[in-house]
Amino acid sequence: MTTRRNFLKTSAAVVGSFASTPYFTSAQRAFANESANDRPVIGCIGLGGMGRGDLGGHRRFGDVVALCDVDTRHLASAKKINQGKGDEYTDYRELISRDDIDVISCVTPDHWHVKICIEALEAGKHVFCQKPLTLTLEENQLIRNACKKHENKVFFVGTQQRSDSRKFLRAVNMVQKGLLGDIAKITVGIDGGSVGGPFKPADPPAELDWDFWLGQAPKVQYVKSRGHGNFRWWYEYSGGKFTDWGAHHIDIALWALGRNGDGTGPVSFDGSDAKHPVPFKDGYPTVDDCYNTAHDFAITCKFDDGIEMVVDSRSDNGLLFEGTKGRIFVNRQRISGKPIEENWDKGKFGPDDLSTLYKGKPYEGHKDNFYRCIREGGLPVSDVFTHVQTMNSCHLAAIAARLGREIKWDPKAETIVGDEQAASFFAREQRDGFEIPRV
């Protein structure tokens, strides 16, 4: 058995060539239960509820030796989960500077993801980052460029629906095999956003570094409802339901259609049927003490071949695929419709089909696939390159909603067409000292 350090050095070279000659065969376990010398060393950044959940998952495959959060209360809770182990940090830069750490788990608020992940890649780490990966269209390009530069590192996005064989993978396979006929319309139900406020500012808790939490976002007084658990309802830090559930369901829609490659997304986004909980002017909220992301909407997205995708808050959460031969509905609780009841995919959905969806790897759990790809090379089932195409659609839907009109998108050039105001939302100004690296 090779030592862990030599093993990781060798596997990194394999990843760079996308595992044309795997270091280990796919039949072997991906790190789990290996000897101490062969388990990867992991650092976890962002330890709120989801971060602590991921911490528990990563512990199956490696040794978590470092924990980081700007809130020391989160650190204390995470350390209990990690059985009292792990050096503690409140500045992620100290954690990623350690040369003994192989893997970074990033589960921060959305507006921190890309900066931390690029710096982790630059420091030579493999990265597992929760969705939604990006805050802006520009960030999609920045993280993609960084992953291309560091192609010897595995980058995994935490869109766990890509590992649900009974429902979502079955739906994707059925659409890709043409069993529903030609798809005419997909309705993507992502629920409505929260409405709240006005909120009063207060002093931040002593355990929380509020200025560092804000990061690239504008500096504002602490408001509890801007922070933990509620940041998603502020465009300053996230994109509301468009990037929350949208990062999951739009991903499945584009994957099923085979429209998540470079230059293949929708060409228009109509946001004329969208409401926000506060007044907007020129795409920006006119008050700063209330949630401001869209809460009631139906965004019509059109592809160049006529397929229509409606992203709305009014349908059941999930995806309705409508084809010329039949239709199916799928969400995390069920998959239904005549093609399912009659098993139209009998004999056309098995281990080989799952392996195809898994880019040649065996079907297994989400983190299993991540650590397998570190070991063997190859792209993971939830890769950065298709995810940024999903996030393009999520961000464009949000921009159209903010402006209340249709916007045109050139998916090949990745530019908003003929609308200077809409194009101004491509990137956001970053606060001094918190700029995202360009690599």
Would you call 205 exposed, middle or buried from its count of C-beta atoms within 10 A (0-12, 13-18, 19+)? middle
Compute the distance between CA of residue 128 and CA of residue 58 in angstroms, rounded to an integer: 10
SS (H, E, C) 32-50: CCCCHHHCCEEEEECCCHH
Percent of the chain with pLDDT over 70: 92
Compute the distance between CA of residue 222 and CA of residue 203 in angstroms, rounded to an integer: 6
Structure confidence at residue 38 (pLDDT)? 79
Q: Three-state SS for 228?
A: coil
Structure confidence at residue 115 (pLDDT)? 98
Question: Which of 400, 389, 143, 52 lies closest to 250, judged by CA?
Answer: 389
Compute the distance between CA of residue 108 and CA of residue 74 in angstroms, rounded to an integer: 12
Tens digit of each residue's pLDDT (9 = 90 or more) over 108-154? 999 999 999 999 999 999 999 999 999 999 999 999 999 999 999 99
This prediction's pTM = 0.92
Type of residue at 335: I
- Could you tell me if 133 and 353 are in contact, meaning their C-beta atoms sit under 8 angstroms apart? no
- Could you tell me if 137 and 398 are in contact, meaning their C-beta atoms sit under 8 angstroms apart? no
Measured N-to-C along each axis, helices 384-403 and 246-257 cross at an angle, to the nearest 10 degrees, of 120
The DSSP call for residue 437 is: P
Where along the chain do its domains lie?
A: 4-163+356-383, 168-349+385-426
For residue 72, the tally of other CB atoms under 10 A from its CB is 15
- Could you tell me if 193 and 233 are in contact, meaning their C-beta atoms sit under 8 angstroms apart? yes
Q: How far from 20 is each of 6, 13, 14, 24, 151, CA to CA, in Å?
A: 19, 11, 7, 11, 14
Structure confidence at residue 35 (pLDDT)? 52
Q: Three-state SS for 74?
A: helix
CATH T-level assignment (fold) for domain 168-349+385-426: Dihydrodipicolinate Reductase; domain 2 (3.30.360)
> Which helix H or strand E contains 358, and what residues bound it?
none
For residue 406, the tally of other CB atoms under 10 A from its CB is 16
Same fold, 4-163+356-383 and 168-349+385-426: no
The DSSP call for residue 71 is: B
CATH T-level assignment (fold) for domain 4-163+356-383: Rossmann fold (3.40.50)
Phi and psi angles of residue 62, each rounded to the nearest 5 degrees, phi first: -160, -170
Q: What is the pLDDT along the chain (439 residues), one digit of tens a residue?
A: 234 444 344 334 333 333 322 222 233 334 444 455 679 999 999 999 999 999 999 999 999 999 999 999 999 999 999 999 999 999 999 999 999 999 999 999 999 999 999 999 999 999 999 999 999 999 999 999 999 999 999 999 999 999 999 999 999 999 999 999 999 999 999 999 999 999 999 999 999 999 999 999 999 999 999 999 999 999 999 999 999 999 999 999 999 999 999 999 999 999 999 999 999 999 999 999 999 999 999 999 999 999 999 999 999 999 999 999 999 999 999 999 999 999 999 999 999 999 999 999 999 999 999 999 999 999 999 999 999 999 999 999 999 999 999 999 999 999 999 999 999 999 999 999 999 999 9
- Could you tell me if 298 and 288 are in contact, meaning their C-beta atoms sit under 8 angstroms apart? no
Q: How far from 187 is each of 183, 243, 314, 403, 437, CA to CA, in Å?
A: 11, 16, 10, 22, 37
Tens digit of each residue's pLDDT (9 = 90 or more) over 3-20? 444 434 433 433 333 332
Tens digit of each residue's pLDDT (9 = 90 or more) over 397-407? 999 999 999 99
